[in-house]
Structures are given as C-alpha cells and as structure tokens.
Amino acid sequence: MKQGAAANGSSKDRPTLLPHAPDELTRGRLRRLGEGIGKVVYASDHWVVRRERSGTEIMALIVVWKLIRKLERVLPGGAADRLLAHPSRQIRILRVLMQALVLIVPRGLWFASHAGDVWRVYLRRDIRGEKLAAQHLRGTPFVPLRIEFPPVRVAVGGWPGWLTVSEAVERVEATLHQRLVELAREGRFGEIEKWLDRLLELRQEGWKLGVFSMDAHLKNFGVTGDRVVLLDAGGLTDRWAEVEGRLSFEAVATQPHIQLGLGGVLAARPEIAERFDQRWKAVVNRERVLSHWPEDRLPA
C-alpha cells in the first residue's frame, strides 16, 4: 500500500487514491478500536475506518459529560474521573438514554444551551482541523497515511453492524496515552520521558508548518515505530491570534502534565512530572512558537 502512495507521488493535499479498498477491510468484521466525542473508530489489522457520530449522539455525549462533571462534587473521590477515563459500558448506556431525551426536547433549546455552545465549538474545530491537516500535514511523517477508494460496505462490531466507507487511515500501534500507561505499569519511566520528548518535537514540526494544536491531549496522538503522529486533527489552527490566546492560558497553567492526561501515569514519580512540566513550559510558550512560526502567517 505504501509503495502505491510513493508511486502515485500524490501531492500533499490529495489523498492516495486506490482502485479498490484493501481486502482486509472487507474480509471480516472490523473491531471497535476507539472513540472520541465525534467519531467511532473500527480497525482491521493495518487500517482504521471512522464512523462520524450524528448530531444528537454528540449532543447526548456532551450532556452526559457535563452531568458527570457536576456529579464529581458529590461522588466519592476519583469516581467521576474513572468514569470519564474509560468510555465504558456505563457511559454508553447513559449516552443512549440521553440521546432519547435529546430527541424529545426541542432542538432550539439544546442549541441555546451551554451544551449547544460546546457542540458548535467542537464541530467548527473539527472541520477546520481536518482541512488544515489536509493542506499542511498530509503526506508528511507527522500523520498516519490516509487512503481513498470507491465506496464499500464493511461489517463492524456493535451497532449499526455495518458502514459504507471510502477512506481509511493507517492503524497506529497505540495511542500515545495507551503506550504511556503500559510503560508506567511496567515501570519503564525512561522510555516515557523519551516519548514525551518526541511529542514535543512533533509539536514543533507542526509549528514550522504553521499549524498549532489547541487540543493536545495524549489520546489524540498515536505511536507507530519510533514516531509520534497526530491522530485527531480537530483543534488545529493556523490563526496566530488563537495560538496566542491558547499560549497565554498555557503561561498560567502550573501542571501541564495533568491537562495532558498524564496525572495517573506519573502519579508515582512526581520528580518526572515536575521535570516534564518544566520542559513543556520551556517549549510551549509564545517566544518559542514564534521562533518556528512562518513569518508570512503572522498578522501584518
């Protein structure tokens, strides 16, 4: 498949076009591999395909998520965090119940609510991020390979049982979050620091291309071989004003590792957490980003 990509010499903003889908996508039932707010991801051995969630599904998830955050104050320590960390069966059931409610309550009410704001921000960021990734990152080693083919029907585990897809993305070995959790479990903290360095290097490569991720959570990055790649383009921006806004927030954040989702991974090693926070702050700041950012992309 990769040879095909090279032979095509596809220009950066065009995906690799194949005459038909890879056989492994249609041979058996694809496994549900991961999910975020907007997508559910199914995998064969080497490829993943995505199902975009419907508007009501996304709205229901946002409402569930907000409810859990509210419950946090009354639930015993960490219970809410555990619920959110693993998109578990409980959350799925809650989401389905909530979806029924979302359908009953008039649409206008949801739109006017805070959940409506969150939903609009998510959608806007997702659409823009995908566009920027296609323009600036496609064909680079910073994202997994993406292929397109004539539409095919594939069988998937769980509801709805099947999907029609016309694109697939190279499957990574694990999300960066999964890899770091495994390494922490095995006490391999030196390797954790190496992966975190690679994440910071990847981010700087992005800045050189004039794109900045406003949603740099470890679940949005993947590992493949010795590379970190960006899995989720949602939240990418090329607007300097937005980058600056985000960086002024970073400037006052004292523990970046918590925001990134590293709290659990580094809980037993506060000195590594501390070292990483310092390293992050030395890189993710206005001066450093500006030193990489293309000059022609700065406001006049």
Select from 36, 139, 206, 256 the one that contacts ligand ADP (CB under 6 A).
36
**Contact call for residue 132 and ligand ADP (CB under 6 A):** no
With CA atoms as reference, report the closest residue to 220 among 246, 202, 245, 194.
202
Q: Shortest Cβ distance from residue 93 to Mg ion (Å)?
A: 22
Nearer to Mg ion, 98 or 216 (CB): 216
By a kind-dependent CB cut-off of 5 to 8 A, residue 144 interacts, out of Mg ion, ligand ADP, none, with ligand ADP
- Which one of 138-146, 151-159, 200-208, 231-239 is the stretch in contact with Mg ion (CB under 5 A)? 231-239
Residue among 41 and 83 whose Cβ is closer to ligand ADP: 41
Q: By C-beta, is 21 or 181 nearer to Mg ion?
A: 181
Residues 103 and 114: beta-carbon distance below 8 Å: no
Q: What is the 3-state secondary structure (H, E, C) of the chain?
A: CHHHHHHHCCCCCCCEECCCCCHHHHHCCEEEEEECCCEEEEECCCEEEEEECCHHHHHHHHHHHHHHHHHCCCCCCCHHHHHHHCCCHHHHHHHHHHHHHHHHCCHHHHHHCHHHHHHHHHHHHHHHHHHHHHHHHCCCCCCCCEEEEEEEEEEECCCCCEEEEEEEEECCCEEHHHHHHHHHHCCCHHHHHHHHHHHHHHHHHHHHCCCEECCCCHHHEEEECCEEEECCCCCEECCHHHHHHHHHHHHHCCCHHHHCCCCCCCCCCHHHHHHHHHHHHHHCCHHHHHHHCCHHHCCC
Kindly tell me which residue out of 35, 57, 126, 232 binds Mg ion, with binding defined by CB under 5 A.
232
* Residue, CB closest to ligand ADP: 36
Binding at 128: pick from ligand ADP, Mg ion, none (beta carbon under 5-8 Å per type)? none
95 binds ligand ADP (CB under 6 A): no
Task: Assess 234 for contact with ligand ADP (CB under 6 A).
Answer: yes
Q: How far is the CB of 145 from ligand ADP (least distance, A)?
A: 9
Query: Of ligand ADP, Mg ion, none, which one does residue 138 interact with (CB within 5 to 8 Å by kind)?
Result: none
Q: Does 219 bind ligand ADP (CB under 6 A)?
A: yes
34 binds ligand ADP (CB under 6 A): yes
Using CB under 6 A as the binding rule, whether residue 129 contacts ligand ADP is answered as no
Examine residue 44 and tell whether it contacts ligand ADP (CB under 6 A).
Answer: no
Query: Contact residues for Mg ion (CB under 5 A)?
Result: 36, 220, 232
Query: Contact residues for ligand ADP (CB under 6 A)?
Result: 33-39, 41, 48, 144, 169-172, 175, 219-220, 222, 231-232, 234
